[in-house]
Amino acid sequence: MHLQHHFTRLALLLGLAFSSHYADACAHDDNHDHAERATPSVPLPPPTRPLVWGDVNIIHTTDSHGWLLGHQKKSFPEPNYSGDLGDFSSFVAHMKDIAIQKDVDILLVDTGDLHDGTGLVDGSPGSGFDAHDANEFFKQLPYDVLAIGNHELYKYNNTLNMHKYFTPHFQGRYLSSNANLTYSDEGGQAVNTPVGDRFAKFTTRKGRKVTALGVLFDFKDNAKGTTVQKVGDMVKESWFKAAIKDEPDFFLLAGHMPVIGDKWPLVFNAIRAIHPHTPILILGGHTHIRDCTQLDGRSMALESGRYMETVGWMSVNLDQRGSSADLAFSRRYLDPNRVTYEYHTKQSNQTFDTPNGLSITTGLKALAKKYGLDRLFGNVPKDYTINQAPYPGNGSLLSLFIEQALPFVLGLNNTLTSNLTTPSVVIVNSELQRFDIYAGPFTKDDQISASPFVDRFLHVPNVKLGIAKQVIRALNGAGENTKKLYRPQVLLEMERTTNARGEVNAAYRRWLKEMASRDQVEANARDLTLGYVTKDSCPGIGDDTPHTPLPYHDVPEYISSTPPPSLPDNATVDLVFVDFFVKNIVSVLNQLQRETIYTVDDAKLYSDVLSNEVWTIYARHKWN
């Protein structure tokens, strides 16, 4: 799995990525403005039914990862998510007006991971803190409660920046119940404090009392100078017991933690031990999926996807305090686009935009231009996806990368002249690619979204081809000795372990695979647009707009280039790989042969090119 230390390295190396000696020697850099936001780029179906409003209603976002300008490609499912943060701001404003008309409460909640994803949060050309500028626009939305995510904790300076400049704006509503930061005050004394606040107590417009917590899963890869307390230990703290002692009208548990298969029951049960019937509303996140469950009849837990591809909706009708009857909850997963927003707010394209919404859109476009995110490298001739097309195959992004883009780019940029004539076998981890590349303009922002991780290409020379071929099989767990590692239960436990490090691709792809394998789409509904088709544990249909599921194809954890077919197995090649897993390569080589005992010092630099530069160079040469 591709560990999140790449995010730490990204800020240090990103400024070098476009100033290398070969970058300026390629094709011209045209500016490419983001498309006008007046209407979606292609026709979109509207939602099928109005939202169910209750006494308390919640609009939920999570795992936005910088997708604040929306998804602007024309290939589905991207148009489903074409609304930008300005559109969302206008939507929220209209929904608040509707809540006043209905005389009910409405809350806006976010559950973390504002960092790491698009150029708006990763692409600052200076040495500023990641996402600082983008977060200024996020702060313009009237969030009632926010919770910290693990991506706010990978880099110490980003955490400190959030504490100093983001937390104060929300006046006690940015919550980090179990995430702390240590820093030196003006007198040089060490201060250990929550990044935000541990909890919040407030009263809604309708006079309802709320106790809110912001809980992070048991995250283990946080930066030095930050700490994450285990959830099981947090609920034993005296501050926690004091916070939940008094009974509110409802508890609002906002946290960056999956609603199923994680530690929410520990928090839930601690509250239930004191308040057996108080309504509990849980908003989760982290695994990038749409999901819902109910831990009892007076609670609901909702998770609302990723990358601004979902806006979550939860509503509940409350009853008298002390009642033990089941409550009437509803939930919905909205596709964030103007068709969705206008449908639910009963606005037209002429009346929908608010002044603040328009200002946010304009400001985000200006920020993208300031960062050079509209720099055009080429025009992609077709869609290349990670999981929608089979690997290997013509539509596979991984196939294009390992078989065409990488050999071409490494052929242009080698540290040794001999590398130009020596055959090679190149191995990379598939998670080096983070997002699909769609037909149309390929910009700096697309490059950052698709392939942000900054790795060097190393090589071990004079490896026999027969051994090099076995390396990829060993890395992917082939062979009798490793089959036991790939049993379903073991895989699930491995997934939990990687989730604790902050890696969510296994969980997200498992969800996509399950979605594609279900044959529940009626024959007369085959013409629906591609998108998410959700099956969760809550009653009724969750998706706001019906879709047909995305096709899904498994990909191996590691992928390899194909050596020349005429080359015999006893011929020697350069075994090329990224430095991220150099220890794995050395270990496997020493298991596969005994002629040479390799160490990491035997892996030498193969090329000056960095992994996040490959698509830029390839696009300039091949997509112009």
Question: What is the three-state SS of 472-517?
Answer: HHHHCCCCCCCHHHHCHHHHHHHHHHHHHCCCCHHHHHHHHHHHHH
20, pLDDT greater than 70? no
Quote the strand ranges of 26-98, DSSP E: 30-31, 56-61
Weakest-pLDDT range from 219-223, 294-298, 451-455, 518-522 = 518-522
172, 223 Cβ separation under 8 angstroms: no
- For 131, half-sphere exposure in the C-beta direction (CA atoms, 13 angstrom radius) is 30
The Cα 131–Cα 117 span in angstroms is 10
pLDDT of 446 over the 90 cut: yes
Report the pLDDT value the prediction gives residue 492, as an integer from 0 to 100: 56
pLDDT score at 15? 32
What count of other Cβ atoms lies within 10 Å of the Cβ of residue 230?
15
Q: Which of 219-223, 278-282, 456-460, 481-485 has the lowest mean pLDDT?
A: 481-485
466-482: average pLDDT: 80
* Candidate from 22-26, 64-68, 248-252 with smallest mean pLDDT: 22-26
Of the listed ranges 193-197, 326-330, 491-495, 616-620, the one predicted with least confidence: 491-495
Tokens of 44: 């979109």
pLDDT for residue 169: 98
Q: Please check whether residue 109 is in contact with residue 363, taking contact to mean a CB–CB distance below 8 angstroms.
A: no
Q: What average pLDDT does this structure show over 203-228?
A: 97
Report residue 416's pLDDT band, with 50, 70 and 90 as the boundaries: low
Strands 572-578 and 424-429: parallel
C-alpha distance across the termini of the chain, in Å: 33
Q: What is the pTM of this model?
A: 0.90
The Cα angle at residue 360 between residues 287 and 113, in degrees rounded to 5: 20
* Pure H helices in 116-155: 119-122, 132-138
Please report, to the nearest 10 degrees, the dihedral formed by the alpha carbons of residues 129, 507, 295, 216 taken in order.
-20
pLDDT of residue 420: 61
Give residue 185's pLDDT.
87
Interval 556-601: pLDDT, tens: 999 999 988 899 999 999 999 999 999 999 999 999 999 999 999 9
- pLDDT, mean of residues 61-78: 97
How does pLDDT run across 475-514, given as a tens digit for each residue?
998 644 444 344 455 545 545 655 566 789 999 999 999 9
- Helix, coil or strand: residue 356: helix
Instruction: Give the pLDDT of residue 522.
Output: 45
User: Which pair of tokens denotes residue 430?
Assistant: 């598939």
Q: Is the dihedral of CA 184, 187, 189, 193 positive or negative?
A: negative
pLDDT of 417 over the 60 cut: no
**200 neighbors 206 (Cβ within 8 angstroms):** no
Q: Compute the chain's Rg from CA coordinates.
A: 25
614 burial class (0-12, 13-18, 19+ CB within 10 angstroms)?
Answer: buried
User: Going from the N-terminus, what domains does the chain have, and what CATH number goes with each?
Assistant: 53-369 (3.60.21.10), 374-476+556-622 (3.90.780.10)
Is the bond leading into 392 cis (omega within 30 degrees of zero)? Answer: yes
Among the listed residues 224, 249, 242, 227, the one whose alpha carbon sits nearest the alpha carbon of residue 105:
249
- State residue 610 phi and psi, 5-degree precision: -100, 155
Q: Is 255 left (phi over 0), alpha (psi -120 to 50) or beta?
A: beta
Q: Say yes or no to pLDDT of 147 above 50.
A: yes
Q: Is 446 exposed, middle or buried (0-12, 13-18, 19+ CB in 10 A)?
A: buried
At residue 415 the predicted structure's pLDDT band, cuts being 50, 70 and 90, is: low
Alpha-carbon distances, residue 585 vs 356, 419, 592 (angstroms): 53, 19, 11
The residue with greater pLDDT, 470 or 418, is 470
Identify the weakest region by mean pLDDT among 77-81, 188-192, 326-330, 494-498: 494-498
Beta-strand pair 226-228/179-184: antiparallel
Q: Side by side, which strands form the sheet with 456-464?
A: 558-560, 424-429, 572-578, 456-464, 604-610
Distances (CA, A) of 431 to 11, 201, 288, 503, 558: 19, 41, 16, 10, 8
Across all residues in the chain, what is the average pLDDT?
90
At residue 78, the pLDDT reads: 98
pLDDT at 24: 33
Backbone angles phi, psi at 203, to 5 degrees: -120, 135
Q: Does 333 have pLDDT greater than 90?
A: yes
Q: 7-16, 292-301, 555-564, 575-584: which range is least confident on average? A: 7-16
pLDDT for 27: 35
Mean pLDDT value across residues 389-394? 97
Q: 22-56: per-residue pLDDT in tens?
A: 233 333 344 444 434 446 678 999 999 999 999 99
pLDDT of 489 reads 55
Structure tokens at 129: 């803190």
- Tokens coding 575: 């075994």
pLDDT score of 455 more than 70:
yes
Q: What band does 422 get if pLDDT is binned at 50, 70 and 90? A: confident
Q: Residue 244 has which token pair?
A: 């939940």
Q: How far is Cα 311 from Cα 232, in angstroms, rounded to an integer?
A: 30
Tokens linked to 533: 């088709």
The single residue listed with the structure tokens 């930008």 is 84
